[in-house]
């Protein structure tokens, strides 16, 4: 699996990956792309969809890197969709298939708020969001917080009692502003099923964390 991580389209994957700049963001690197592909394969087996379209969309969904704290963050998926279309045009893809990939890329983002209209777009959105919850979601949350210079939690008020959550300052508060809200927005039946499993793991982590620091449960 890890020797040929993007089977049955390993050759296409190599071509598309060669067109992208290396990312220094460990939450949106090649391992993230592969995890999303694993999720895509699981969902596609149950939900259908064109696997080649899904492979291209998966590989290119973050092909333009925009940091989480950038004012351009909400435009990241649109920028990636435009660049993805250019890449696929350059290797001779038909316009109709490029359009399907570009829509899936554009609609995958939580920040963009764009409705996915095709099964491929729904699967990619679900697959990307699955990587933001569960144990991997926990790891990515704290990794990004470290990159942004955030603290783990507010020592004086771990539960943010009496104030708004400040997830730009405290990693733990991102659970409440985003991570714990993701499971309710899945597009496919299989995606929703997997999300409920990972949501339980996310809640278990949060409860255990609060217990270990001596704070009341959320």
Q: Which domains, ranges and CATH numbers included, belong to the chain? A: 1-127 (1.10.3210.50), 132-218 (1.10.3210.50)
The answer on pLDDT for 174 being more than 80 is yes
Q: Hunting for tokens 């050759």 — which residue is that?
A: 11
Average pLDDT for residues 37-44, to the nearest whole number? 96
pTM above 0.95, yes or no: no
More reliable by pLDDT, 26 or 89 = 89
d(CA 60, CA 58): 6
Name the token pair of 103. Answer: 């829509």
pLDDT of residue 109: 85
Q: Which two tokens stand for residue 91?
A: 């290797």
Per-residue pLDDT band at 114 (split at 50, 70, 90): confident
**Helices within the chain (DSSP H only):** 10-18, 30-47, 51-60, 76-90, 95-107, 119-130, 134-148, 174-177, 189-212
Tokens (6 digits) for 198:
């990972």
Encoded tokens for 191? 């995606």
Highest-pLDDT range among 15-29, 62-76, 132-146:
132-146
**Sorting pLDDT into bands at 50, 70 and 90, what band is 63?**
confident
Give the pLDDT band (50/70/90) at residue 206. Answer: very high
pLDDT of residue 71: 59
pLDDT at 133 over 90: yes
Asked if the bond preceding 118 is cis, omega within 30° of 0, the reply is no
Quickly list DSSP for 43-94: HHHHH---HHHHHHHHHHTT-S---TTSTTGGGHHHHHHHHHHHHHHHTT--
Whole-number pLDDT of residue 19: 76
Cα gap 197→199, rounded to integer Å? 5
CA 27 to chain CA centroid, nearest Å? 9
Mean pLDDT rounded to a whole number for the chain: 90
């Amino acid at each position: 699996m890890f020797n040929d991580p993007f089977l049955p389209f390993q050759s296409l994957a190599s071509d598309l990956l060669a067109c992208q700049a290396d990312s220094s963001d460990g939450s949106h690197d090649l391992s993230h792309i592969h995890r999303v592909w694993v999720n895509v394969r699981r969902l596609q087996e149950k939900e259908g969809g064109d696997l080649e379209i899904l492979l291209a969309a998966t590989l290119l969904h973050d092909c333009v890197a925009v940091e989480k704290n950038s004012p351009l963050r909400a435009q990241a998926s649109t920028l990636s969709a435009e660049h993805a279309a250019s890449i696929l045009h350059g290797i001779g893809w038909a316009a109709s298939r490029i359009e399907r990939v570009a829509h899936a890329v554009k609609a995958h983002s939580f920040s963009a708020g764009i409705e996915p209209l095709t099964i491929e777009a729904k699967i990619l959105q679900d697959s990307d969001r699955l990587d933001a919850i569960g144990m991997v979601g926990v790891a990515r949350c704290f990794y990004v917080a470290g990159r942004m210079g955030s603290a783990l939690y507010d020592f004086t008020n771990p539960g943010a009692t009496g104030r708004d959550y400040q997830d730009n300052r405290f990693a733990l508060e991102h659970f409440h502003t985003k991570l714990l809200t993701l499971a309710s927005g899945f597009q496919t039946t299989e995606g929703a099923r997997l999300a409920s499993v990972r949501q339980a793991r996310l809640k278990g982590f949060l409860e255990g964390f609060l217990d270990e620091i001596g704070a009341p449960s959320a």
